[in-house]
Structure 1
Amino acid sequence: MNLFPKQSVRRSAAPIIAFCTILTPAAVWGPPAAGQVQVGSTWITQPISPDLDIGDGQLRLELDQAVAIALQNNLGLLVQRYQRSQSLFQVNEAYGIYDTVLGINTSVNSNSQPSASQLDGALVTENETIAANVELQQPVSSGGTFSINWQNSRFSSNSRFSDINPSLRSSLQFAFDQPLLRNRGKRITERNLAVAALNSDISMGDLEVQVIDTVQTVANGYWALVEALEQLKVAEESLTLARELHEMNRIQIEVGTLAPLELVQSEAGIATREEEIIRVQALIQDAADELRRLLNLDERSLWDLEIVPTTSPEISRVAIDLEASLSSALNKRAEIDRQELRIETLEIDSTFLRNQRRPDLNLSVSYGRNALGGERTVCERPGPPSIADLFEPCPEEYIRVDSLDFLSTLGQFYDGILGQVFEGWNVGLNFSKPLQNRSARAQSRIADLALDQGRLELQDLMLTIRTEVRTAARGVETAGKQIDSARVSRELAEQNLDAAQKRYENGLWTSFQVLEIQEDLTAARSREVEAITSYRRALLAYFRAIGVLLEQEGIELVDDADS
């Protein structure tokens, strides 16, 4: 009796062979995924509502769908999107240096006090002042500030010496203050704005790195689940072989052609394989839970569904061009762009703090015109004036009131009042300098050292990336060779089991020896499954190392800051 017909071995290997892929050489890297996934960059990104394939208690999930869901729902990405949005608002905040400032000041003052001298003009002096002032200030890119100040006041008094009572005064002044040494120039003025813009770009780089991390982590989690499920198939096929051997042993013992000890050995083989199935089933649950966590599936009911991966791990073999890979990595890695932006930030800080070491020399220029209006009281006494007239009240019949047209003089830009132009101007320089200037010099030196450190960190990063590329490229080549080796090992193990079956049928081998050969075949199949999924993971690491992972997965990072 043929206890192990050849079709039994071939049938058990069929699911594994279907899972295994025949990898053939291709281009340096394959084409990107067919579907394009757009990833938003800010907190306003709208979450997607995935059309999940759910049925019979199962969630059928493709790799592209898993990645798309994670890119919208992953908590780490959500946090990074908020940081990106904050950096954009910080740019808007930095533009505040050019905000025009409007100042309005009004006041009313009334004062009454007893006279201490006849020169006060009244026994009890009563004064009232009403003021209204408007000022506009506009900073400019050179570091200076342009300002317009319009001051208005109305003054009334009961003093006989107040010739114009009430009096209306107005002045319009234009002023410009400009630093000449410290804080001079557009680069110094816009330091915070430039830093905020660079930080915004850095936050975009941080988001890109986070997206890449998420894609790689989710894909690795997906393939971990695929591998665990295929390892379960391997373990179940191994159990099937052991049970077939046990059944044949039982039949031969019943007919008296085999010792009962052989039945114990086959039973032990079954128990060992059942234990392996339990272990693999636990690995499947662990891998499924990890994938659920990465996808951030909120609905509790989704956590109770069995995840069934539907994407095949089959992929063409990638031919590695190391020089092209290194060039791609140095041109496309987000980490390099991010570090270069940080160096630009450090250069701005270094330039700014070097400027702060200079003395403080400010130029102030102002020009203004003044206007006066109101009612002028004139006493026209007959005869020549005398000193006594200053202290005697003027009889009403000698009083003449001249009205000064304030509004008309204002319309003529304060020109022509009493036939004159009332103007004023000022030019001044203010200088100050700390004699030791230790604080500014120390801060400048610290900034220079930080810049040197940033440049060294860039060199170290590029060296690290070169190492990562070489390691990842070697990993892909090694994984490909392991697939070839595992396939040959599995084929030889199948042939070895066929030979063992014949020896067993001829009474040359025991059940224990056949079980060992079965275990060798199971181990070979397991290694082949592991080699194929390891190749997938190696490709992910390689594409990330050379900076094209998002391109390969058909993912586009969209800056939706203006949405």
Structure 2
Amino acid sequence: MKKWCIWAALLLLTGSAAGAGAQPPGIDVPRLMENAATAGLPAQARRAFDLTVDEAIERALDRNLDIAVERVNPQLQDLTIAESRSAFLPSVSSNFDLGRSMSPSRSQLDGAGRLSRRTVETESGNAGFGLEQALGWNGGRYTLDWTNARTETNNVFFSFNPSFSSNVALSYTQPILRGRSIDPQRRQLLVSQLNRDISDVDLRETIANTLADVRRAYWDLVYARASVDVQRQALELAEQLVRENRIRVEVGTLAPIEVVQARSEAAARRQTLAEAEQQMRTAELALKQLIVSGTDDELWGADINAVDQPLLDQAPIDVDTAIRTALDARTDIERSRRQQDINTVTLRNLANATLPALDLVGSFRLQGQGGTQLISSALGGPALITVPGGYGDALAHIAQLEYPVWNVQLQLSYPLGHSAQKAAHARARLQVQQTRAQIEQIELQIATEVTNAALQIESIRERIDAARVARALAAGPLAPAGRKLEVGPSPNVFVVPAQRDLATARDTELRAILDYQNAVIEFERVQQTSLSRAGISIVGGGLGP
């Protein structure tokens, strides 16, 4: 009776093995990936966090530390621009001083007066204000000075005592050749503005590369979870074979060595499952690193449940349009063009520095005098008439333009021989020609990368089709192998290789689908940016005027 029960159990198990092993050729791999994505991890008290691709991208834009670091650089460049512009801001100066001097009188011409008075005493006060500014549009520079003085003394030769004087002077220097169109200060400002544009390009590049990394890491995690599910199913089939072989050994239809072989295969599947779970954890950690703000982020200690599934787009690829898009918008070519603009500005400055320094200098000054006027009959004699006055008289003279002084001059300087400026300009001109060739090289590299990325997509599409056929064919032998168990041959000879081939075919198809997602991501990325911050050589500033 016991023997008949064992045979009945054996028949039931062989029937279930045949049903489980003979998966239909149309196995739904996306459904398998979806089941793996939503499956919980074994017995861990960690909160699961459902996450879509769009949510991962949004988190990266908000929390990725590389992007946060790069966002500071445009602000730093804004400060550099402000620093460069400060060279063209007006500068105000002022001075104020009081003083008193006592000098011994050595002759009557010292103005001490009586012979008994041998000391010339003078009290003075000065106040001045100045304004100076370099103009950013034509290289000119102006200075405006307003000086005031008060002097009170016992010197008898003074006609005003106390005396007030005021002067307003305006001076303007205009370069005619060197320094008129550009100078080192304006070059620095233009370069700072171009570097600000480059920092924006660098930020776009960091964002594009980071988001591509996020998408790749997301699909890596989806693949890793699906791979865990595939290996778990393979382990279940291997353990089921162990149980069946033990029953056959008990009824005497199978040699004990078959159990050992089945257990060996189950152990190998268990090891493969452990490796797949480790790869899944590594993929999850790689994704977290891109989308969390730190270890205190809520997502850091949670299990990420990647809920989106990959889509296979069979639309044709327009390579020519993609190349044009990349040549117009890719960050490396845009950076190179901005760097070429910097080189052009530097070349202009070096060319201007080779010109003679010819400056037109003009000045205009107004003077005013006031105070108590002393009118005497003779030089050094006592004052006969005292005319009251003060500081307002000096200002009135200025307002009425009573004592103008003007001056115009040309200043010329020119170095003889082959100057350092000419050598720097010749070197920069050659470097600019070299950078043009570098830009053409980058354009060719861009076209090559875009074309290669498109070819990768087409190739992987063919791989996916082939992998689907291989997986369907690998599932077929399990049905005949299951039926062979009923007629007596060793099941390990048929079932173990068939199970191994099916697991490999499933994993190969999953790998091809993941490679397709990565190829699409790469195709989109190469139209926006490059992995390295490619650019061209920057011409040195050389010697300025």
Please classify the TM superposition score into its range, dividing by the shorter chain length: 0.7 to 0.9
Counterparts of 1:388-467 in structure 2 under 5 Å? 390=379, 393-394=381-382, 399-404=384-389, 406-408=391-393, 410-411=395-396, 413-415=398-400, 421-436=402-417, 438-467=419-448
> Is residue 457 of structure 2 the alignment partner of residue 476 of structure 1?
yes
1:212-248: CA deviations, max 9, x gaps? 1100111111111111111111111111211222222
> Is residue 349 of structure 2 the alignment partner of residue 368 of structure 1?
no
In structure 2, what is the equivalent of residue 174 of structure 1? 170
Aligned CA distance change for structure 1 residues 349 and 67 (closer, same or farther; 3 Å): same
Would the aligned equivalents of 2:232 and 2:273 in 1 still touch at CA under 8 Å?
A: yes
* Cα distance in structure 1, aligned partners of 2:122 and 2:462: 102
1:366-409: CA deviations, max 9, x gaps? 112211111221223xxxxxxxx546x53xxx621123465256
Aligned CA distance change for structure 1 residues 274 and 364 (closer, same or farther; 3 Å): same
Would the aligned equivalents of 1:414 and 1:422 in 2 still touch at CA under 8 Å?
A: no
Would the aligned equivalents of 2:228 and 2:273 in 1 still touch at CA under 8 Å?
A: yes
In structure 1, what is the equivalent of residue 539 of structure 2? none
Would the aligned equivalents of 1:12 and 1:237 in 2 still touch at CA under 8 Å?
A: no
Aligned CA distance change for structure 1 residues 544 and 180 (closer, same or farther; 3 Å): same
* Pairwise CA distance, 1:108: 1.7
* Pairwise CA distance, 1:63: 1.5
Number of paired residues?
501
Aligned CA distance change for structure 1 residues 542 and 301 (closer, same or farther; 3 Å): closer
Counterparts of 1:71-82 in structure 2 under 5 Å? 71-82=61-72
Question: Counterpart of 1:515 in structure 2: which amino acid?
Answer: V
* Pairwise CA distance, 1:545: 1.3
3-state SS, counterpart of residue 371 of structure 1: strand
* Cα distance in structure 2, aligned partners of 1:390 and 1:409: 24
> Is residue 514 of structure 2 the alignment partner of residue 524 of structure 1?
no
> Is residue 266 of structure 2 the alignment partner of residue 270 of structure 1?
yes
> Is residue 285 of structure 2 the alignment partner of residue 282 of structure 1?
no
* Cα distance in structure 1, aligned partners of 2:417 and 2:97: 45
Aligned CA distance change for structure 1 residues 348 and 67 (closer, same or farther; 3 Å): same
1:181-231: CA deviations, max 9, x gaps? 211126876322221111111000000000011001111111111111111
* Pairwise CA distance, 1:86: 0.4
Identify which range, 136-145 or 223-232, moves more after superposition. 136-145
Counterparts of 1:117-516 in structure 2 under 5 Å? 117-122=107-112, 123-140=118-135, 141-185=137-181, 190-296=186-292, 297-299=294-296, 302-380=299-377, 390=379, 393-394=381-382, 399-404=384-389, 406-408=391-393, 410-411=395-396, 413-415=398-400, 421-436=402-417, 438-508=419-489, 510-516=491-497
Identify which range, 182-191 or 152-161, moves more after superposition. 182-191
* Pairwise CA distance, 1:92: 2.3
Would the aligned equivalents of 2:224 and 2:279 in 1 still touch at CA under 8 Å?
A: yes
Would the aligned equivalents of 1:111 and 1:126 in 2 still touch at CA under 8 Å?
A: yes
3-state SS, counterpart of residue 185 of structure 1: coil
Identify which range, 244-253 or 341-350, moves more after superposition. 244-253
Aligned CA distance change for structure 1 residues 134 and 118 (closer, same or farther; 3 Å): same
Would the aligned equivalents of 2:148 and 2:167 in 1 still touch at CA under 8 Å?
A: yes
Identify which range, 517-526 or 432-441, moves more after superposition. 432-441
* Pairwise CA distance, 1:449: 3.5
* Cα distance in structure 1, aligned partners of 2:147 and 2:30: 92
Question: Counterpart of 2:92 in structure 1: which amino acid?
Answer: L
* Cα distance in structure 1, aligned partners of 2:162 and 2:494: 124
* Cα distance in structure 1, aligned partners of 2:434 and 2:146: 52
Would the aligned equivalents of 1:70 and 1:295 in 2 still touch at CA under 8 Å?
A: yes
Would the aligned equivalents of 1:330 and 1:462 in 2 still touch at CA under 8 Å?
A: yes
1:263-288: CA deviations, max 9, x gaps? 22111111110110111111111111
* Cα distance in structure 1, aligned partners of 2:338 and 2:181: 22
Q: Pick from 20, 29, 45 the counterpart of residue 16 of structure 1.
A: 29
* Cα distance in structure 1, aligned partners of 2:480 and 2:414: 96
Would the aligned equivalents of 1:363 and 1:428 in 2 still touch at CA under 8 Å?
A: yes
Identify which range, 320-329 or 506-515, moves more after superposition. 506-515
* Pairwise CA distance, 1:303: 3.1
* Cα distance in structure 1, aligned partners of 2:473 and 2:199: 54
Identify which range, 252-261 or 443-452, moves more after superposition. 443-452
1:314-351: CA deviations, max 9, x gaps? 34234212212211211221221111111101100110
In structure 1, what is the equivalent of residue 6 of structure 2? none
Would the aligned equivalents of 1:504 and 1:514 in 2 still touch at CA under 8 Å?
A: no
Would the aligned equivalents of 1:63 and 1:222 in 2 still touch at CA under 8 Å?
A: yes
* Pairwise CA distance, 1:430: 2.0
In structure 2, what is the equivalent of residue 108 of structure 1? 98
Identify which range, 140-149 or 270-279, moves more after superposition. 140-149
* Cα distance in structure 2, aligned partners of 1:211 and 1:363: 52
Identify which range, 274-283 or 436-445, moves more after superposition. 436-445
* Cα distance in structure 1, aligned partners of 2:106 and 2:427: 64
* Cα distance in structure 1, aligned partners of 2:393 and 2:119: 35
* Pairwise CA distance, 1:456: 2.3
Relative to the length of structure 1, the TM-score reads: 0.83
Question: Counterpart of 2:211 in structure 1: which amino acid?
Answer: V
Would the aligned equivalents of 1:20 and 1:532 in 2 still touch at CA under 8 Å?
A: no
Question: Structure 2, unaligned stretches of length 5 or more?
Answer: 1-10, 35-44, 113-117, 531-545
Aligned CA distance change for structure 1 residues 351 and 300 (closer, same or farther; 3 Å): closer
Would the aligned equivalents of 1:370 and 1:414 in 2 still touch at CA under 8 Å?
A: no
Would the aligned equivalents of 1:218 and 1:291 in 2 still touch at CA under 8 Å?
A: yes
In structure 2, what is the equivalent of residue 554 of structure 1? none
3-state SS, counterpart of residue 303 of structure 1: coil
Would the aligned equivalents of 2:26 and 2:472 in 1 still touch at CA under 8 Å?
A: no
What is the alpha-carbon root mean square deviation over aligned residues? 2.5
Question: Counterpart of 2:121 in structure 1: which amino acid?
Answer: E
* Cα distance in structure 2, aligned partners of 1:92 and 1:499: 80
* Cα distance in structure 1, aligned partners of 2:529 and 2:391: 75
* Cα distance in structure 1, aligned partners of 2:301 and 2:22: 36
> Is residue 527 of structure 2 the alignment partner of residue 537 of structure 1?
no
Aligned CA distance change for structure 1 residues 352 and 142 (closer, same or farther; 3 Å): same
Question: Counterpart of 1:134 in structure 2: which amino acid?
Answer: F
* Pairwise CA distance, 1:294: 1.6
Would the aligned equivalents of 2:84 and 2:185 in 1 still touch at CA under 8 Å?
A: no
* Cα distance in structure 2, aligned partners of 1:521 and 1:538: 25
3-state SS, counterpart of residue 539 of structure 1: helix
